[in-house]
Structures are given as structure tokens and as C-alpha cells.
Structure 1
């Protein structure tokens, strides 16, 4: 309904007398009234002016009422405009067809003024309700679009936050590693009498604190990768033997703090070259080696073995990380690679765990076309196995 003034009604009838009578009746009721002498003029006015209701004669020369209704029904902008058909008693079948096409009501001729007022009022009320529903729908759609835009902004802000945390955690890890090595050297010199006993205690405390910080940083890195979801790889020619050996060396101090013997064995390592993302694979291998130390008892052995396999004519690097921990149940192995999974085994030194490490391993290995699985029996330790195809050329972008 027009918001700026009274309802606007179009009277369409080929008889001038009928148009004048209907116009006077409706104007006395406070409506704004236009008229048209046939269907063609009616359609032209309907397209030019926003009417609230149309009184439409059925039988007219040229474009009749049925054709007007058909044209309005085919136009999405007009099909919901209320139309009341004006008909003689012998035109009931035609009126029924118009109603089936979308006309809201009809009035028999001669027109009863009270019935006319009632039908007009009912049509205008239906249109008012429809206009309100349409307005609310548009508001909801607009609010939905705004909420979607705000959600996207929040997602982008969250991704920026996560990338910042990941970068900060990664940047902190290297200097902490250097501090850890210096603390170990102080302890070594103390053991041969070059440093006082008090200094040895301080070095040990430094070592323990740095180790805990590194564990927290590793957890932040794991959580960042998991939260970002999609990970883009930066591939470069890499020797996996050197990479895995470096990961083992980085975990030696942690293993020594628990009196765990960390053994690295390799075969054909010089041939283990492929296009890999060094940071992602290092993170995956670090999670496996670090987990093995974390869940192994004090004084035990963790074995890391790397070798080369040829399957179906393709080179694969085969890596095994074996511990002497409590092992895993069948239920543990079934859900071990899911995110935020806490398994039955507990860290042996009270270390912190997010439950993300193995899911990150699976994600990183599978992004390189590889596989990871577990072989274990409760009470007999666990072996985590990784195989990665050694692709020697940069894959073509689609």
C-alpha cells in the first residue's frame, strides 16, 4: 500500500458510465482513483504507477480482462497486485479462470456499493499484510547479508590472529632451542668440574623451563595449523634423511632430560630426495619423535628408522618411530589421528598435550600424498609408520 497517502485504485471498464460511477463511490471513501477504458491502457498504467488494487472488467474490446490477468501473472513485479474482477452473471466461467490465474476476488454486475467497499477493504488489507511480509523479508535478507559479511570479517581476523600466533611461536622456538643447548653445555662442563655446583642447579632449572616453553610453543603451532584448516605447501627439493636426522637431534636434549636413549638408524638416506615442504614435514616428524619421548618411560629407548622402499615402480621413504611406552588399544588406534583426541596413555613426565599432534601428522603427510598408521599392542610399546612418495619434479598447477 502507498505509504505517502491514500490507497490508489485503478478502475478498468470499457463503459464510461461504469467508470464514472465507480470512481465517485471510491473517491467518497477517500481513495485515489485512476481509470482505463480497456486492457491495453490498463497494462500501460499498471506498469507506470504503483496501484494498491485494480477493479477489472472481464469483457472488453481489444485486450480483455483475461488477457490483462495473464500478462500480470507472467510479470513477477505485477503478479501479486490484488485484482477484483467485474462480471455479469453469464461470465462466471471466465471469472473462475481469472481467479485461477491470480485474481483475488470478483463482483457481479450491477455493483452493490456495500459489497464493493467490503471487497476493496479486504483486498487492501491483504496487500498491506503482504507488503509488510515483503518488507520484513527484505530486512531479514539484508541483515543476513550483513551478518555474513561480518562473519567473514571475523573469520579473516581470526585467521590473521592464528597466523600471528603461529609466526610468533615459530620465531620463539629457535632462540629457545639455543638457550637449551647452552644450558646443556653448562651442565656438561659442571659434570667435569669446570662449573660450580650452584651453576649446575641453575642450568638444570633453565633447561626445565625452556623445555616446558618449547612444549607450549609446539602446542601453539599445532593448534594454528589445525585452526587454519587449509594449508598451502611450499615445495622444494629436500633430502628426507637429513631432515629426519635433524629432527632427532633437536629432540635429543628432551630425551636426555628423561634419561631416554634416542636412536636414529638410516639406510639409503642419500637417495631419499623429493619435492617436499620442509617446514610441514619437519613439524610432522617432530610431533612423532616428541610424542614418543613424551609417552615413553624414563630410562627406555626410542628408535627412529628411515629407509627407502620401491612400490609399483615409485620410490617411497619409509620412516618408523618406535617407543617402549604403554602401547595403544584398538580403540585408541581407531581415533588416534582425530583432532583433540586424548588417548589412554599419559605423558610420563607430566608434560602438557593438546591432543592435536597426531592429527597434524596425518594432515601434513597426506598433503604430500603419503600415509601414516600405527602398529601397537598394549603393554608392548607403539610404532608409528610414515611413507611418503618421493616426487622428483614440481607438480604442475591446474
Structure 2
């Protein structure tokens, strides 16, 4: 018998939608709420490593992910020279297992749609444009009041409400989200035939320039620079700035640059990081995903770690008899050090680039990849 009968999930992103799917499919009553008006997601594309794909297969959406995304098994390293010279083509570690690709690139709103559709299909009650206004806990559960005036009682609240988690604040948890010193330009654009995987350019006037195919017709490309205030730029100025920065990079970048024409497809953000010390729960409310840990995307593990949180927590809630200290202890044994390793390694890669240190990037990536081959 599951440890819970009725669960509220706050936040319909990767962690929240995954938890809702797994719990609802097991026969648990699940309500999934999100304060956004719909399932559209900010951003352009997402890189899903094999350990993320393993969870997506567990969720029953792998076929749709493969249909919408772009799978590849190698990583290219290119020089910031006039030819965009290919320095190395590396076989990527298949962290999800030999029967899954190493990586899939995907358009973020497509992934969001796939996950929410599946949550609804397996019986979760999904409400957008709605969140809670108050949570009141006792030893057995949580009473919630919502912005639409409704109320509900739950055995557990799973807060997957992002980097600036309102629930974290509601619980009185102080956690500093710290900028890393890097800012990233991203663009979503049509995919040229020359782009069939991720290639990374290290060096030149920016820290990193790269791209990832997101489907038969799309890609997202990115340039990582020293973090600065770009908030005053108009969309046209943002497009012009990214095009100017891209002039230092060639090879497939020359094809991408020709397709960078829509100012509404550009966004700029800073890399940030935080890691909440265990425990991530307070009473009958638990934080997962970006609400508990976030790192710069230098290892492309943000969504993967969110999915793993949801998978491990759901497994325990389905297989245990009650929400008790043993359940929480097992959850943190399986999740905390793994998440810490990913956060620390992601920050190490940033630090080497900012400091101009030639660190052992392949060695660090391989060490983390081999850890992630083992299911969480």
C-alpha cells in the first residue's frame, strides 16, 4: 500500500510533472497546480542526457520525446579559428544505458507539452493559472487554500516550484542563489544540415559557443560570456549583440548566423547556483528539482537531476507504508550526494573558464558521466 493517498504537486516543470505522472499512474490521487497560465516554457531548447532519457522512458513518454527531439551519440570540440576546425569527435557516455541515445536535444515547450499531456492521461488533475495562498500542516497532512478559492487536504505536498521557490520561502528556508559570473545568450532558429549534434567552441572572445539540434527543423545555439547587465537592450539590439558575438565562430556557426533573424527568439540570462543542505522537507512538504538544487548548464544536467528527484521520491512513496524518517533518510541517501556532485562539477567547469585555467575538462566530464550511468 502506498505511503500516501492524496498528493499536491506545485509546479508543472520537469520535476513536478514527472512526480505527478509516476504517482498518478500508481493509483494515487494527484493534483498538479502551476501559477503560469499555460504550459509554455521560457527558453529555446533543452539538452537531455541519457540519465534524463532513462526517466522519460519510465514516465512512458520516450516515444514522443524521440519523435519531437533529435538524438545523437557524439560530442564535437571545435577551435575558434576561421574554419571552425573540428579538433575532436568524442563518443559520449550513454548514461541512460546502451539501449538509449547519449543525448537528445528538444524544444522546451514541446517537452513541457509531452509531460503535461501524460500527467493528464494517467489521471492527474492539472490546473494552470492556479497556486496555493496558504499551507497549514499537522502531523498527518497539509491543508491548502488556492487562488481560485478552493481548498484541499493532502498527505504530502511536493514543491517543484523552481529556482525562486515560493514554497521554500513559505517554509522559512533561507537559501542564497548565487550568480556564477557567467551570462548566456540563447537563440532558437532553423537547423542547417551542418548541425547534427552538439559542438562546443572553447575560447575566442567568449567563454563557450555551442549549439544543439532540437528536432528535424530546429536548433538552439548559445554563447556564454562574462555576466553583465543586458536588461536595457531592445529585442533588436539583443539579436544584433548575439550576432556580433557569433562572428568569432565559424564552421556550422556561419550557417546558424544566417538563420538568426527573429529578435523574439533571443534570450539572455545569468548562470546561477544553489544547493539546499539535506533535509529538503519540512514536515509534510518537500522541495525537489530547482527548488532544492540548481547549477549552471555546463554539464547539461538540470532537467536530468530534477527527473531523478521525482523518480526516486515517487518510488519510495509508492513502495513504502508511510511517510516517516526511514523514507526521508533513504531519499537523501539516494539523492543528496549525487546532486551535490553534479552541482560542484558544473561550478568547477565555470571556475576554470573564468580563471583561465586549463583544467581536466574531459576527465571531470567522464567521472560525472560514469557516476550517472548508475541509476539514482
Q: Do these two structures clear the TM 0.5 threshold for a shared fold by scoring above it?
A: no
Q: As a proportion of its length, which structure holds more helix?
A: 1
Q: As a proportion of its length, which structure holds more strand?
A: 2
TM-score normalised by structure 1 residue count: 0.21
| Structure exhibiting the larger radius of gyration computed from Cα positions | 1
TM-score normalised by structure 2 residue count: 0.22
Higher RCO (CA 8 Å, separation ≥ 6 residues): 2
